[in-house]
Amino acid sequence: MRRKGGEEPALCKAYWEAAEEAADKEKLKEELLFRISPKIHTDYYLNHLTNYQKEREQVLRLNRFLIEEQEALKEAVSLNERSFQIWGREKFLQREQGNKLLSHCGLKPQDLNIYRTTEPLAYYSADHSTPQGILILENKDTFYTMRRFLMEGGRFIFTEKIHSVIYGAGKGVLRSFEDFFFCMEAYMCHPQNRILYFGDLDYEGRKGA
pLDDT tens-digit profile of 27-53?
999 999 999 999 999 999 999 999 999
d(CA 120, CA 78) in angstroms, rounded, equals: 14
Structural domain spans, the chain = 36-115, 122-208
* φ, ψ of residue 136 in degrees (nearest 5): -95, 130
Handedness of CA 9, 12, 16, 22 (dihedral sign): negative
- What is the per-residue pLDDT for 13? 54
- 65-69 — which CB contacts under 8 Å span 24+ positions? 66/37, 66/39, 66/40, 67/37
pTM over 0.85: no
Closest-CA residue to 16 (of 24, 5, 2, 25): 5
- What is the per-residue pLDDT for 205? 45
d(CA 162, CA 133) in angstroms, rounded, equals: 5
Weakly modelled stretches of the chain, pLDDT under 70: 1-23, 118-120, 170-183, 200-209
Q: Quickly count: other Cβ atoms within 10 Å of residue 132's Cβ.
A: 20
- What is the per-residue pLDDT for 197? 87
- What is the per-residue pLDDT for 167? 86
H/E stretch holding 50 reads helix 49-68
